[in-house]
Structure 1
Amino acid sequence: MLCLLAPLVQAQQIDPKVFMALESARTAQQAGNLSAAQRALDDALKSTSAGSLEQALVQQRLGYLAIEREDYAAAVRWLQQGLAQAQLSAEATQQDRRNLAQLLVQQARYQEAVTLLEAEGVGNLPLATRRLLVQAYRELKQYRKAIPLAEQIVRANPAADDVWYQLLAGMNYELQRYGDAIEWLQVLVRRAPQSSGNWRQLASMQSMAGQQTEAAATLRLAHEGGVGLRKSDLDNLVALHAQAGAPWQAARLLDALIEQQLLPADREHQLRLAQLWQASRDRAQALQAWQQLARQSGDTRYWLQVAFLQYQQNDWAAMQATLGQFRPANAEQRRQVQSLRNAAAAAQAGL
């Protein structure tokens, strides 16, 4: 949190007793005697009238004292009461409002903080307070409001911490603005070209945008640049897409990685590719992948997958030809072969 400081007592005429109590509390607080400061303010509050400037000033000081005591719930309550009096100067009101917003965000009361700051006018807020508002908007998933403010922050300070660029990429991703997310991740790659995480994030976002060829090219560029991308990193990237419910993107990415020779075209990866094409319901690609795997391995399990896909496509002749190319290895496979033939015969009879 930014440093929270109580503004000086405004130079208006107030009850001398209250003024002396405020000064006494200030002296005690500066000396580290918070209990004495609390007693002075509690006594002063009793002598103020409702809605008065004196009451607002005491409530304000009680708020800042509560901050120093790390009693943030009390601080929020006192600052809210002080502001509600509408007696403080414009400068003090503005400072209290912004500090109150910080406390509200700290307590995860994001909507209250947003309401408070928006009432002041977003365009009137300094960059530090806009950062706070971005945080609140993000927590409320109000990304369309947060993104323009975050862009203002990085444009005002191009050397801003990487977290702001990651934040912009993430919020654009949530809105499925993949192109904008890619642009911000490219900034991160340029800023830290030796960060393997930046390259992985960029490739992942390109893949989510349907740019699997570009994603593979990004990973190859990282590999050629000496960035430590391991085989497991690339496998995990494919798995993340599959787990996110995007098997088609995962299949295209894996296919591109194999073509770029970043992953080996071994049986493990060919099997995974065939499974992903099938999960994405791209039957043409799935059939081609299973056929290639079956021819190279001779495994009857893969031939059965080929026959099953041909059955789904009503390609009876091709299915029968496939079933004739191998001998079932066990009773379960014999049952599956017979089941496919019976289902095909029934389907043809019903046409």
Structure 2
Amino acid sequence: MMKFIFPLFSVVLMFSGFAQAQQLTQYNAAKVQRAIQLQQQDKIVDAIDVLSKLTPSQAYDKAYVQRMLGVFHWQNGNSKAAVKYLSTAVNSQQLVDEQAWVTQRMLADLLLTEQRFKEALPHYYQLTKTIPKNQKVGDLWFRIAQTHYQISQWDKVLSALNKHQKVAKIHKEQDKRQLLVLKLGAQLQRKYWKSAIPTLTALIELEPDQAGWWQQLSSIQLQLNQPSNALDTLVLAQRQGIVLSQSELKILAQLYAQRGIPEKAAQVMAQLADYETDKEIIITQASYWQAAKEWDKAIAVWQKAAQFDGQYYWQVAQLQIQEGYYQQGLKSLNKVKDYNKTDDVALAKTRAYYKLNQLELALVNAKRANEFKPSNEAKGWIQYLSQMRQIKG
């Protein structure tokens, strides 16, 4: 629930207007003056007692006294009583001009502090119709937006904020922040994702160290299928010193990979807390290094993955043989236990033994591959190696 600050200027204006209250009868005017003196001496209870004993016969006098009682009860910490007396004064329609306006404003603010939001709104809207010269209409629209927010009327929040921005001049960053936070909340509730982006951008400009704004912005950009923008946002967040969560780091790595920068993706994976102990993280990082053609790094990380699951010795062996590490590749191939890869393993051994100039072992493995699963590649190796053996005789 939002917190609201009570506008003390209303109370000041109420007392300053006493000198102009020429319609009060002489007796009641004297009692009101006495009550004000007691109030100024911090004798609020005595001031209330003086006014409570009055029984004005004139409608204006009654409304004025009710108004004063509302002020004093608020100052004495009794908001419910203050609302009661101010409501009577406003509903009497005896108060006029700025006197009436200020009284209704105080009543609206009190209803707001009492969380009687639906009762406060008609008063605020009425106040916007006639604005005294020394009052700020922008402040009213902001309170209207706050009140609608409390009762989840999101579109009305945004409408009120738009009116506020048209008439208000915001100088303090804190005031601008409150407006943007209120606007963002309503936009997110209504799932106005595109509209929320400039709001979040403005919040980031105000508070670049707040991780939440960066996180929400990147999340919305992903929601709108804007991976490039989401990547830029997360990168800028890191440069700003924002510590990304584990899930955000994974997303950042994926976005780098999608943009065709797998080496950056692999480097981001290394920032994860469990990058050396989590099997899935290790496999993903190995894939990124391999996509980046960083063969030695890929081999090293695939070897880590193979310690968790022997099937990954196949990736290790393939890269080792590709890079000319034939002896290491053969050792890795001997650790591959996947029955479905028997022919592939045998063909890989064929290539490794051939490179090591061990033609007999190469031929044995070529025949083994063909027996398990006949293929043109296996047959081609058998024919070629058989000819080489004959030549060497």
Name the TM-score, length of structure 2 as normaliser: 0.60
Instruction: Using the aligned pairs only, state the percent identity.
Output: 21
Query: How big is the shift at 1:152?
Result: 4.5
Query: How big is the shift at 1:116?
Result: 1.5
Q: Which amino acid aligns with 2:48?
A: Q
Q: In the alignment, what sits opposite 2:49? A: 39
Match of 2:125 among 118, 122, 146: 118
Distance 1:91 1:142, change over 3 A: same
Match of 2:97 among 70, 90, 97: 90
* Contact 2:44-2:72 within 8 A present in 1 as well: yes
* SS of corresponding position for 1:176: coil
Q: In the alignment, what sits opposite 1:157? A: 169
Q: How big is each residue's C-alpha offset from its partner over 1:98-122, in whole Å with a ceiling of 9 and x where there is no partner? A: 1111111111111111122123346
* Contact 2:24-2:61 within 8 A present in 1 as well: yes
Query: How big is the shift at 1:28?
Result: 0.8
Structure 1: runs of 5 or more not aligned: 239-250, 275-292, 304-322, 327-351
Q: How big is each residue's C-alpha offset from its partner over 1:282-306, in whole Å with a ceiling of 9 and x where there is no partner? A: xxxxxxxxxxx9xx65977999xxx
Structure 2: runs of 5 or more not aligned: 1-5, 284-301, 313-337, 342-393
Q: In the alignment, what sits opposite 1:255? A: 254
The 2-side partners of 1:193 and 1:273 are apart by 33
Query: How big is the shift at 1:64?
Result: 0.3
* Contact 2:279-2:308 within 8 A present in 1 as well: no
Q: Structure 2 matches for 1:173-192, cutoff 5 A?
A: 173-192=188-207
* Contact 1:97-1:116 within 8 A present in 2 as well: yes
RMSD of Structure 2 on Structure 1 (CA): 3.6
Distance 1:213 1:84, change over 3 A: same
Query: How big is the shift at 1:252?
Result: 6.5
* SS of corresponding position for 1:18: helix
Q: In the alignment, what sits opposite 1:284? A: none
The 2-side partners of 1:208 and 1:90 are apart by 51
Q: How big is each residue's C-alpha offset from its partner over 1:37-86, in whole Å with a ceiling of 9 and x where there is no partner? A: 11110111xx223x711111110000000111111111111100111111
* SS of corresponding position for 1:263: helix
Q: In the alignment, what sits opposite 1:234? A: 245
4+ residue runs over 6 A deviation: 251-254, 267-270, 298-303
Q: In the alignment, what sits opposite 1:306? A: none
Q: How big is each residue's C-alpha offset from its partner over 1:4-51, in whole Å with a ceiling of 9 and x where there is no partner? A: 31252343433221111111111111111112211110111xx223x7
Q: In the alignment, what sits opposite 2:143? A: 132
The 2-side partners of 1:122 and 1:147 are apart by 19
Q: In the alignment, what sits opposite 2:229? A: 214
* Contact 2:70-2:85 within 8 A present in 1 as well: yes
Distance 1:121 1:193, change over 3 A: closer
* Contact 2:209-2:242 within 8 A present in 1 as well: no
Bigger shift: residues 206-215 or 148-157: 148-157
Q: Which amino acid aligns with 2:224?
A: A
Q: Does 1:103 align with 2:103?
A: no
Q: How big is each residue's C-alpha offset from its partner over 1:118-173, in whole Å with a ceiling of 9 and x where there is no partner? A: 23346856122222111101111112111133245456435442232222222211
Distance 1:221 1:115, change over 3 A: same
* SS of corresponding position for 1:188: helix
Q: Structure 2 matches for 1:283-302, cutoff 5 A?
A: 297=306
Name the TM-score, length of structure 1 as normaliser: 0.66
The 2-side partners of 1:217 and 1:264 are apart by 17
Q: Does 1:144 align with 2:155?
A: yes
Bigger shift: residues 252-261 or 97-106: 252-261
